[in-house]
């Protein structure tokens, strides 16, 4: 195993480290001053339109993907896409019951899209919108991953070699920091 690199850091990193030492260091928001878990107090924040978009992939073994394509994404349990969209939407609305420090939010809209991405992979995208004091990143991630779990459940009779992920945030808008793309 190689040890740490000797010599000074490249100029681009020296500038980065200097900027980081001057800037406020990021901190975990769900810990209080004593390091105990705590829900963030959002009462002083303004209610604004918040949007987030996340995705999760489902990769199938080649024979399973071929069978699903041949069946129009239907299994013995029924329509895979329709069931996954309903499950993902329900999960968005219940995220605060699953993730301990998520605030219950009024959800203004949820859109879940599921389509083939290549020969063997489904791409599930979940977009969520609210007008509130906190964002909906966790809701979008929960919707996409629960929809993916539902696809797995609907297809597991065909194979247990189905792989979920990666799940990732594609974008968020409306809070302190916008990230990626929500459109």
Which residue, 163, 142, 140, 141, is CA-closest to 151?
163
DSSP 70-128: HTTSEETTEEHHHHHHHHHHHHHHTHHHHSTTPPP--EEEEEEEEEE-SSSEEEEEEEE
Q: Parallel, antiparallel, or unpaired: how do β-strands 179-180 and 163-173 relate?
A: antiparallel
Sign for the pseudo-dihedral over CA of 10, 14, 16, 21 = positive
Q: Pick the catalytic residue from 32, 82, 108, 153.
A: 153
Determine if the peptide bond prior to 166 is cis (ω within 30°): yes
Place of tokens 């063997």: 120
In the residue annotation, 33 being an active-site residue is answered as no
Residues annotated as catalytic are 153
């Amino acid at each position: 195993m190689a040890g740490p690199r000797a010599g000074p850091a490249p100029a681009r990193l020296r500038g980065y480290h200097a900027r980081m030492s001057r800037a406020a260091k990021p901190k975990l928001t769900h810990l209080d001053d004593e390091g105990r878990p705590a829900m963030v107090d959002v009462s002083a924040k303004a209610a604004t339109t918040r949007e987030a978009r996340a995705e999760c992939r489902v990769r199938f073994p080649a024979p399973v993907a071929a069978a699903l394509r041949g069946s129009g994404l239907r299994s013995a349990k029924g329509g895979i896409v329709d069931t996954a969209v309903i499950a993902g939407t329900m999960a968005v609305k219940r995220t605060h019951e699953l993730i301990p420090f998520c605030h219950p939010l009024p959800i203004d809209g949820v859109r879940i899209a599921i389509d083939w991405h290549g020969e063997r992979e489904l791409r599930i995208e979940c977009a969520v919108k609210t007008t509130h004091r906190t964002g909906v990143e966790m809701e979008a991630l929960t919707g996409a991953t629960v929809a993916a779990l539902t696809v797995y459940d609907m297809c597991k009779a065909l194979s247990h070699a189905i792989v979920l992920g990666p799940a990732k945030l594609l974008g968020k808008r409306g809070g302190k920091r916008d990230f990626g793309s929500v459109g």
